[in-house]
């Protein structure tokens, strides 16, 4: 990301100008052979779509790989995709290298134009759609109507136009079940910063693990430092109705875990935390993808024993869960989650005014996130 782009992101009153610039950059890709750009209009705004393929004719297609970004107030997918496509235009990435036979690449970098154009305190800096709903909760109801909807599928609300539009884009490929469809959704979360800090201050034998990622962080440290445990399961609920778990370690073992946790956090300071997420059907593919990306990029991201985590236990309609929900064969959905860059855009604006080193530090961190997204795109294009 360039300095001017970061400054434009923080200038909320001129987001429309930045948005138009992004659309123009994508539209210019039409000049490249085998690249198609479309602008699709919905009531929430303009959705840009980019295809790269030798042919879009369904008869010639065996694999479709889809890359989604900016459902919420996140930018790793949007600007990662934009940078990757710019690299193609500037011939830093060979178009011939990614034009694999019988494969269609579909990029949807900005799913929530309203949130991008109108970040506010009320919509969590651009997290929600115009009607206040969370786009990420509707996918299962649209693509897997045979599935009995979970409590977060929002049956009482109308399916957003983005979902209807995206379903129509995939329809001709979706209906031919012999075509393999791989979908990577780019997300960001503030929990990758919040949870390690919380654990480093509060971890005791009585600590309440109220989120699976907290358990994952501790287990990651234990695996990396070869800390054994003998009571199983390692994490247990004190009652079936409990909304949290506890850890089964002796005081001495926990002291060791805590010591190594602090060492781990210090050792990885300044590096980007991340993980890929999979459900049952996409597990094998996602683990290989995550491992390939991690091995090529490990000097810039947090050290991890688990570059990919199981997400199948979540009962909501996100794309990760979708591949388990639908009966369609040959569909594999997964997610790349990295640290949230603009959880509170107004806080970031204040930081940019008061910290003379803000822009240098922020750009360094953002660009690592974008490099990770680009590496994931490259690996997924070539992985079958």
Domain chopping of the chain, boundaries: 3-190+272-382, 193-267
pLDDT at 351 (0 to 100): 95
Cβ–Cβ under 8 Å, residues 109 and 81: yes
pLDDT at 241 (0 to 100): 85
Please give the helix or strand (H or E) that residue 105 lies within, else none: strand 103-108
pLDDT at 151 (0 to 100): 54
> How does pLDDT run across 32-75, given as a tens digit for each residue?
999 999 999 999 999 999 999 999 899 989 999 999 999 999 99
pLDDT at 136 (0 to 100): 87
Rounded-to-5 percentages of helix, strand, coil across the chain: 45, 15, 40
Cβ–Cβ under 8 Å, residues 111 and 223: no
> How does pLDDT run across 330-365, given as a tens digit for each residue?
999 999 999 999 999 999 999 999 999 999 999 999
> How does pLDDT run across 130-156, given as a tens digit for each residue?
999 999 888 887 888 777 655 555 567
- Angle among Cα 352, 354, 360 to the nearest 5 degrees reads 45
Strand-pairing partners, residue 45, are 42
HEC profile of 312-352: CCCCCCCHHHHHHHCCCCCEEEEEEEEECCCCCHHHHHHHH
> How does pLDDT run across 189-233, given as a tens digit for each residue?
999 999 999 999 999 999 999 999 999 999 999 999 999 988 889
- Angle among Cα 163, 35, 377 to the nearest 5 degrees reads 65
pLDDT at 130 (0 to 100): 94
Q: Tell me what the mean pLDDT of segment 282-301 comes to.
A: 96
pLDDT at 239 (0 to 100): 87
> How does pLDDT run across 245-267, given as a tens digit for each residue?
999 999 999 999 999 999 999 99
> What value does the mean pLDDT of the chain take?
92
Tokens standing for residue 384:
């079958």
pLDDT at 168 (0 to 100): 94
- Looking at domain 3-190+272-382, which CATH architecture does it have? 3-Layer(aba) Sandwich (3.40)
How many angstroms separate the Cα of 358 from the Cα of each of 8, 213, 306, 366? 15, 29, 31, 12
Query: Which of 113, 129, 23, 109 is closest to 69 using CA atoms?
Result: 109
Q: Tell me what the mean pLDDT of segment 173-196 comes to.
A: 95
pLDDT at 204 (0 to 100): 93
Q: How far apart are CA 239 and CA 245, in angstroms?
A: 9
């Amino acid at each position: 990301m360039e300095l001017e782009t970061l400054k434009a992101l923080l200038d909320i009153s001129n987001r429309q100008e930045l948005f138009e610039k992004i659309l123009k950059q994508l539209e210019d890709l039409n000049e490249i052979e085998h690249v198609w750009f479309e602008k699709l209009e919905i009531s929430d705004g303009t959705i840009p779509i980019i295809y790269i393929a030798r042919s879009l004719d369904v008869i010639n297609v065996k694999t479709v790989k889809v890359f989604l970004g900016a459902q919420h107030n996140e930018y790793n997918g949007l600007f990662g995709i934009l940078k990757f496509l710019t690299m193609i235009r500037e011939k830093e990435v060979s178009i011939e290298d990614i034009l694999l036979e019988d494969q269609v690449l579909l990029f949807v970098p900005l799913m929530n134009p309203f949130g991008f154009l109108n970040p506010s305190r009320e919509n969590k800096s651009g997290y929600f759609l115009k009607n206040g709903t969370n786009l990420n909760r509707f996918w299962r109801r649209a693509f897997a109507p045979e599935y009995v909807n979970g409590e977060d599928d929002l049956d009482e609300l109308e399916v957003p136009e983005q979902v209807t539009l995206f379903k129509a884009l995939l329809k001709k490929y979706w209906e031919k079940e012999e075509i393999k469809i791989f979908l990577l959704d780019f997300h960001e979360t503030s929990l990758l910063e919040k949870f390690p800090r919380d654990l480093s201050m509060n971890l005791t034998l009585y600590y309440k693990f109220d989120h699976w990622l907290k358990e994952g962080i501790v287990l990651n440290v234990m695996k990396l430092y070869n800390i054994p445990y003998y009571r199983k399961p390692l994490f247990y609920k004190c009652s079936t109705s409990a909304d949290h778990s506890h850890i089964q370690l002796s005081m001495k073992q926990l002291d060791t875990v805590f010591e190594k946790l602090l060492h781990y956090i210090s050792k990885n300071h300044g590096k980007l935390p991340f993980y890929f997420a999979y459900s049952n059907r996409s597990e094998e593919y996602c683990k290989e993808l995550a491992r390939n990306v991690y091995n090529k990029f490990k000097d810039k991201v947090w050290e991890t024993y688990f570059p990919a985590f199981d997400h199948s236990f979540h009962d909501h309609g996100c794309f990760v869960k979708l591949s388990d929900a639908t009966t369609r064969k040959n569909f594999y959905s997964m997610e790349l989650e990295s640290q949230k860059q603009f959880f509170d855009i107004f806080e970031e604006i204040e930081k940019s005014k008061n910290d003379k080193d803000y822009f240098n530090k922020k750009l360094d961190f953002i660009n690592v996130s974008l490099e990770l997204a680009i590496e994931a795109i490259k690996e997924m294009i070539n992985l079958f």
